Every structure is written in structure tokens, then in C-alpha cells.
Amino acid sequence: MVDVFEEVEEQLRTERYMALAKRALPWAIGLAVAVVVIGVGVWGWDAMRTASQAKASTTLSQAIKAKSENATSTAFNQFGEVAKSGPPAYKALALMQQGGMRLEAGATGEAVAFFDQAAKAAPDPALADWASLRAAFALFDTAPYADVEKRLIPLAGEKRPFRLEAKEALAFLKLRDGKFKEARTEFVVLSQIFDATPGMRQRAKAAIALIDSGGAAVMDKAAKMAAEAPPPPAGGLPPGMQMPPGAGGPPQ
């Protein structure tokens, strides 16, 4: 009799396990399918991203080469292709190149628009600030004081990567508009900042001497000095940054 009870109990346990398995099976299959779908999706996305980067790199290299050979129309269009569909870093670099080319052609407004687009597209804060600095320099000679100052002040913040370049530009902007006392104060600071470049210190000291000399010729000399202060390279990369792998070296 005991054997009969044990056999019945075993059958009941088996039936319960089977029922549990039947309920769990769809979830197990669904989970397995989800894992496979996610794995395939990640692989597909990675493959697509790699292909997109390779295409952008090749086109960017071709555009740089075309530009170096003075095939400006071809280069501009190729940069445009990268700016349209390339990954963010390539897009920003291509837009900066287009901005530099428009600036060289005297189309300041278009150049600034390209630099602004590059700043928005850049995935790296340093690259974004570099593009913004290019836009401010492009406007330096022609735009009203307030417009240029509005662009430079955020870039001069203490934690911004190109704060010294922005501070120098602000000092020259004040000098350009006859704000001699304010400009002198900023040049004094620049001449004493330990991480300022030798060129910055030299220009700051020359500007201080110019302001202290006074006279009617100060404005003309100030404009000349501001023009001689090296702006960021047109469309190039900030110091220390590298082109994305395979992109043919730094743009010129």
C-alpha cells in the first residue's frame, strides 16, 4: 500500500512539474529570443557604426587632399557629405573645414554659421569650444563689441579648455573699442598667468606698453596688434587633439 501511495505522489509531482514547465516554457523561449535579438542588434549597430566611420574617414581624407590641391569646389562638397551623414566628430571637423574655406573666401557670415554648427555637432567639449572660438575670431574685425563679447565670455570661464585664448581675445576686443583701462588690466593678468604661452605674454606686454604710450596712434597700432595675434587655424584641430583614426592627418 505504501508503494501505491508513493507512486501516486510521484505522479502528482511529475504532473505539477510538467504544468510548471508548460507555463514557464513560453517565457524561457521569449527570453532566449530576446537575448539573440539584442545580441544581433548590438552587433548590427556596431557594424553600421564602424562602416559609417570608415566611409566618413575616407571621404574626409579625400576632401583634405582635394583642398591641398586647390580643388576647392570638390573639397567643399566632400566636406559637406561628411557633415551631412558622418559620425559627430567627423561632422564637426568637416563643418569647421567648410567654415574655414568660406572665411578664406570672404564670406564671414557663412563661415560663422558653419563654425556654430560644428560647435553644436562636436561630441567633445574641447572641439566644441574650439569651433566657437573660431566663430568669435571670424567676427572680430567687423561685428559690434557686444556680439563678439557675448561669444567670448563663456569660453573664458575658468574650467574651459581655451580660456586663455578667449581672455586674450577679450583684451584685444576692449583695446579695439578704446576701453584702454579695462584692456590694460586684462593684459597685465595675461602677462602674469603661469600657463600663458610665451607668445601671449609677449603680446600682453607689448599691448601694455602701447596703452601706456598714449597718443592718437594707439587705436591704429592696437588694430594692427589684434590682427597679428594668431587666431585658431581655420578648420583645424585644437592643440593636442588628434584626427580620428584613418582620417588622413590634421587638416590644414
Domains of the chain: 70-228 (1.25.40.10)
Residue 215: predicted pLDDT: 54
pTM for this model (two decimals): 0.70
| Contact predicate 83/49, CB 8 Å | no
Q: How far apart are the first and last CA of the chain?
A: 96
Mean pLDDT for 117-137 is 93
Mean pLDDT for 99-105 is 94
Residue 14 pLDDT grade (very low, low, confident, very high; cuts 50, 70, 90) = low
**Is the pLDDT score of 190 beyond 60?**
yes
The larger pLDDT score, comparing residue 123 to residue 2, is at 123
**All 3 cell numbers of residue 128?**
566644441
Range list of H helices, the chain: 2-68, 72-85, 88-104, 108-121, 125-139, 145-155, 163-176, 180-192, 198-213, 218-228
Report the C-alpha gap between 101 and 141 in whole angstroms: 18
Owner of C-alpha cell 583684451? 171
Report the C-alpha gap between 152 and 188 in whole angstroms: 19
| Contact predicate 60/252, CB 8 Å | no
Residue 230 pLDDT grade (very low, low, confident, very high; cuts 50, 70, 90) = low
The larger pLDDT score, comparing residue 221 to residue 68, is at 68
Ranking 35-39, 148-152, 191-195 by mean pLDDT, the lowest is 35-39
Rounded to the nearest angstrom, the gap between the alpha carbon of residue 215 and the centroid of all alpha carbons in its chain is: 42
User: Whole-number mean pLDDT of the chain?
Assistant: 77
Report the C-alpha gap between 13 and 7 in whole angstroms: 10
Residue 44: predicted pLDDT: 44
**All 3 cell numbers of residue 245?**
583614426
